């Protein structure tokens, strides 16, 4: 009879996690009969890898904070042009909105054109992303449950409109572990705007703190406390050597105490992170052509800023970071939240992100990385087809356009349909839970099985909901 694994052995295996498999060449080819042990997650033991063959290794989540207008980006509605200026209340039932300042039907200020072999219509806002149409699966039928930013942000990020639940990045790293020991598995690249609801959008909630996002910020110190204070590198090394020696002699006296041993080995990790993190943001090894592709030479400083974030995202993927979220740059208008001055605000935001995102997709593709990387582009909700005041659009949780590209995604797909005004979804609704289920599916996780017991329940990211959107899968 085999003895059960000791905690120490478990620890060793878990630290490898997904990565251990990948390094041994087993990635994507699980041995026959290998099933997830019963109730492992439920009992809050560490989880040991995917449930089934994963398509994606990593996720880059491009968060369009504030809510991009679907009828101005990916969901053209000629009827808005035809009925521009008419009273929407005479056309359809108007839901309560957050600002309750319902204006007239507002046509899109931008023209749409068809792109790619698939002929996907994209507005003038995104000329660069449009060139990637054949790699994109467009969903025009995403809905949210909340018309307010904060709740909608929490909902999108954690599957619950209430503060304090684990973020999807936390769930993914909890489920799959990290591939790189020297970089955290869940990284948020702070482009300048932390979404309403604050850092709780990226927190671990009731999951252990190890699964919270590390915030990476452009600047001298990209991650909190990553820079040694010693000034002379040798000095820190000597100190760490002394610390190690003293700790080991303590262990000698104490005998086996797993927790203390792990804390000791943690220092090695932390030490390595000090060099691996700054190395990430060192772009000198990137070619000029690559940088140009992302928009490093743009006149718009926000485009350049976001370009750097997108390039950084690729470099994180190369280093095996599991889940990367990019927050929006702080352009001169507000986030995508154009309650007024839609034209100016959306144009500034779009200009900042369009080329870098297209650059990222193309760069990933040319390096063969897009096959293993899932890129997700979405806001927390859509906007109203009628004006707020004269020239803005209010929040609209009933319809939102989003897209995914890369690993396991059927490019050139358009899924879901809204009504003639782009106000409500009328076909193939995709809920936030469905979105989560689909992302998890692509990572090889069965969203119904990845649970964590808290407050007497085995809780899932998808609560008791969620269907995989199979039609967009390759």
Partner 1 sequence: MYHCQRYFCISIAFALLFLSSCIEDKNFAEPLPENVNFNFHVRPILVQNCYLCHGPDPSGRKADLRLDTFEGATAVLKEGGHAIVPGKPSKSQLVYRIFHEEEDQVMPPPESNYKLTAREKALLEKWIDQGAEWKEHWAFIPPNTSIPTSNNNAIDSLLDVRLLQKQLIKSPEADKYSLIRRVSYVLTGLPPSPSDIEYFIVDDSPRAYEKMVDAYLNSPAFGERWARHWMDLVRYAETKGHEFDYSIVGIWRYRDYLIRAFNEDVPYNQLVKEHLAGDLLDSVRFDSETKIAESPIGTAFFAMAEGTHSPVDIKKDEADRIDNMIDVTSKTFQGLTVSCARCHDHKFDPILTADYYSMYGLMESTRFTPIAAEQSIETEKSVKEIEDVKAYMLKLISDKWDEKEIVQNDLIPKEEVAADTTYQIIGDFRNADLDGWKSNGTAFGRRTTLGDPIIEKSSGKLLRLDEGRASSKLFGKRIFGSLQSQNFILDKDFIGIRARGEKSTIRLVIDNFQLIQNPIYGELEIPVNNGQWQNHVIDVTPWKGHKAYIEILPGGYQSHKYQLPEDAYVEAQYAITYNSPWPTEVKAQNESAPKQDWARLKRSASQIQEINNSLQTGKLPTSFPELKSTLDSTEQLAKKLTNSSFYYGITDGFGIDSPIFNRGNHQELSEEKVSRSFLSALPQGGVPFETNGSGRMEFANALLASENPLTSRVMVNRIWHHLFGRGIVETVDNFGLQGKLPSHPKLLDYLAIKFQKEDWSIKNLVRSIVMTDAFKRSTLRTEELIEADPTTIYLASFPVRRLEAEAIRDGILVASESLNDSLYGPPVATYLTHFMQGRGRPAVSGPLDGNGRRSIYLEVRRNFLEPMMTTFDRPIPFSTFGKRDVTNVPAQSLIIMNDPFVARQAEIMAKKVLDDRELSFDERISWIYIRTFSRPPTVEELSKAKEFIAMLQKMETSSDTETDKELELWKQYCHSIFNLKEFIYLI
Site for partner 1 in 94-133 (CB under 8 A): 96-100
CB of 272 to partner 1, least distance (A): 9
What is the distance, to the nearest Å, from the Cα of residue 442 to the centroid of all Cα atoms in its chain?
14
Q: Does 238 bind partner 1 (CB under 8 A)?
A: yes
Q: By CB under 8 A, name the one of 87, 245, 279, 297 that touches partner 1.
A: 245
Of 72-80, 121-129, 269-277, 430-438, the window that binds partner 1 (rule: CB under 8 A) is 269-277
Q: Does 288 bind partner 1 (CB under 8 A)?
A: no
Any idea what the Cα angle at residue 449 is, between residues 446 and 452, rounded to 5°?
130
Binding pattern for the stretch 401-440 against partner 1, x by CB under 8 A and - elsewhere:
----------------------------------------
Q: Does 462 bind partner 1 (CB under 8 A)?
A: no
Q: Does 48 bind partner 1 (CB under 8 A)?
A: yes
The CA distance from 329 to 153, in Å, is 17
Is the Cβ of residue 30 or residue 468 nearer to partner 1 in the bound state? 30
Q: Does 468 bind partner 1 (CB under 8 A)?
A: no
Q: By CB under 8 A, name the one of 54, 76, 175, 196 that touches partner 1.
A: 196
Is the Cβ of residue 93 or residue 288 nearer to partner 1 in the bound state? 93
Tokens representing 251? 């262990």
Our CA dihedral for 214, 215, 218, 221, rounded to 10 degrees, sits at: -60
Q: Does 335 bind partner 1 (CB under 8 A)?
A: no
Q: By CB under 8 A, name the one of 28, 109, 228, 389 that touches partner 1.
A: 228
- Contact (Cβ atoms closer than 8 angstroms) between residue 84 and residue 106: yes
Q: Does 305 bind partner 1 (CB under 8 A)?
A: no
Is the Cβ of residue 304 or residue 395 nearer to partner 1 in the bound state? 395
Which helix (H) or strand (E) segment is 403 a member of? strand 400-406
The CA distance from 258 to 59, in Å, is 33
Q: By CB under 8 A, name the one of 66, 67, 159, 184 that touches partner 1.
A: 184
Nearest to 146 by CA among 162, 157, 159, 161: 161
Of 222-230, 303-311, 379-387, 435-443, the window that binds partner 1 (rule: CB under 8 A) is 222-230
- Contact (Cβ atoms closer than 8 angstroms) between residue 166 and residue 211: yes
CB of 263 to partner 1, least distance (A): 5
Of 84-92, 111-119, 221-229, 416-424, the window that binds partner 1 (rule: CB under 8 A) is 221-229
The CA distance from 299 to 375, in Å, is 26
Nearest to 335 by CA among 324, 350, 323: 350
425 beta partners: 418
Q: By CB under 8 A, name the one of 69, 73, 151, 396 that touches partner 1.
A: 151
In 75-126, beta strands by DSSP E: 102-105, 112-115, 120-123
Q: Does 29 bind partner 1 (CB under 8 A)?
A: no
Q: Does 53 bind partner 1 (CB under 8 A)?
A: no
Q: Does 259 bind partner 1 (CB under 8 A)?
A: yes
The CA distance from 367 to 359, in Å, is 12
- Contact (Cβ atoms closer than 8 angstroms) between residue 204 and residue 191: no
Of 28-36, 53-61, 82-90, 342-350, the window that binds partner 1 (rule: CB under 8 A) is 28-36
- Contact (Cβ atoms closer than 8 angstroms) between residue 324 and residue 61: yes
């Amino acid at each position: 009879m085999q003895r059960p694994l000791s905690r120490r052995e478990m620890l060793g295996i878990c630290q490898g996690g997904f990565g251990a498999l990948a390094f041994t060449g087993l990635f994507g080819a699980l041995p026959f009969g290998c099933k997830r042990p019963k109730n492992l997650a439920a009992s809050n033991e560490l989880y040991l890898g995917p449930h089934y063959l994963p398509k994606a290794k990593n996720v880059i989540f491009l968060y369009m904070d504030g809510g991009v207008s679907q009828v101005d980006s990916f969901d053209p509605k000629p009827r808005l042009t035809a009925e521009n200026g008419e009273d929407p209340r005479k056309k359809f039932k108007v839901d309560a909105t957050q600002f309750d300042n319902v204006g007239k039907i507002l046509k899109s200020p931008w023209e749409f054109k068809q792109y790619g072999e698939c002929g996907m219509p994209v507005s003038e806002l995104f000329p660069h992303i449009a060139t990637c149409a054949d790699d994109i699966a467009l969903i025009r039928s995403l809905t949210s449950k909340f018309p307010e930013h904060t709740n909608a942000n929490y909902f999108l990020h954690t599957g619950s409109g209430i503060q304090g639940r684990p973020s999807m990045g936390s769930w993914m790293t909890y489920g799959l572990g990290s591939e790189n020991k020297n970089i955290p598995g869940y990284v948020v690249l702070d482009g300048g705007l932390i979404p309403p609801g604050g850092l709780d959008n990226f927190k671990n909630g009731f999951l252990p703190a190890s699964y919270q996002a590390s915030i990476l910020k452009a600047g001298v110190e990209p991650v909190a406390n990553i820079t040694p204070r010693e000034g002379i590198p040798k000095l820190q090394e000597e100190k760490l050597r002394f610390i190690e020696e003293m700790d080991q002699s303590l262990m000698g006296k104490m005998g086996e105490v797993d927790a203390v041993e792990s804390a000791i080995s943690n220092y090695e990790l932390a030490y390595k992170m000090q060099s691996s993190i700054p190395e990430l943001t060192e772009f000198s090894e990137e070619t000029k052509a690559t940088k140009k592709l992302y928009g490093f030479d743009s006149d718009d400083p926000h485009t350049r800023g976001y370009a750097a974030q997108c390039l950084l995202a690729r470099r994180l993927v190369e280093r095996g970071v599991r889940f990367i979220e990019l927050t929006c740059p702080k352009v001169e208008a507000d986030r995508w939240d154009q309650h007024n001055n839609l034209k100016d605000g959306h144009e500034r935001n779009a200009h900042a992100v369009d080329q870098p995102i297209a650059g990222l997709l193309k760069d990933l593709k040319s390096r063969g990385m897009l096959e293993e990387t899932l890129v997700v582009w979405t806001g927390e909700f859509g906007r109203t087809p009628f004006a707020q005041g004269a020239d803005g659009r209010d929040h609209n949780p009933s319809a939102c356009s989003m897209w995914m590209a890369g690993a396991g995604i059927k490019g050139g797909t358009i899924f879901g349909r809204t009504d003639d005004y782009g106000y409500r979804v009328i076909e193939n609704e995709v809920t936030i839970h469905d979105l989560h289920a689909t992302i998890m599916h692509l990572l090889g996780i069965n969203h119904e099985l990845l649970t964590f017991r808290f407050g007497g329940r085995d809780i899932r990211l998808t609560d008791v909901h969620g269907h995989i959107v199979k039609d967009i899968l390759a």
